[in-house]
Chains A and B, each alone.
Chain A
Amino acid sequence: MTSQKAAQQESAESKHLIILLAGWFIPGAGHLMQRYWVRAAFLFTSVVSMFAIGLAIGGKVYHPNTGDLLEMLGFAGDLGSGGLYFVARLVGWGSTPVLVTVADYGTKFIVVSGLLNVVSAVDAYSLVNGRKR
């Protein structure tokens, strides 16, 4: 009986973790898996639009580095975008140097879209484990 409960709890925890990771990799996927369609659509649109506008106005996508602290933090923020970050790196988007002020806004758009994506993935995790209704 106890082992059955433990197995159920383990299975639930792994499901929660999958939702967290899905929400990180694809913006809004964590909410979509729990059938919060409207929230998922808004989160996906917001994060992807911010990322795309950031790239469109010439923002920079950070690479893994061990140099300047701000560069490392920028990389951590960018990585929050999950799949979008990997696609951008694969295609080579955001690799041109930032030359104008508005392009620097683009860099911030990309970093903040990653941070907001992490917030939304954690929100999906809170919904599935009952911490948030």
Chain B
Amino acid sequence: MTITHFTAAAIFAFFASIVLGITQRSVPCQMVRYGVFCFALFIAAVIIGSWLMYFIHS
């Protein structure tokens, strides 16, 4: 199986966010919100980190 770097990071973020959402909050509604928040942070970190590496490399 071959996947791109971004797909790998997105899959990682998706599953990690589910577990973090369930374990770090008590109420289902807060779990969903925290999971979405974690996912957004993961993806933002990937995009910002990628651009930083691009500029450092060039």
Contact = CB atoms under 8 A, between A and B. Distances in A.
Interface of A: 39, 42-43, 45-47, 49-50, 53, 56-58, 101-102, 105, 108-109, 112-113, 116, 119-120, 122-123, 132-133
Contacts of B23: 119-120, 122-123
If over half of B's interface residues share one DSSP class (helix, strand or loop), that class is named, otherwise mixed; here it is helix
B3 to A, nearest CB: 6
Given A46-B19, A112-B12, A57 B26 contact: no
Interface residues of B, number: 17
A58 B22 CA distance: 28
A132 B26 contact: yes
Which 4 residue pairs spanning A and B have beta carbons closest together? Answer: A123-B23, A46-B15, A116-B19, A56-B1
Contacts of B20: 116, 119
A50 B20 CA distance: 14
A102 B5 contact: yes
B41 interface: no
Contacts of B8: 57, 102, 105, 109
Nearest to A133: B26
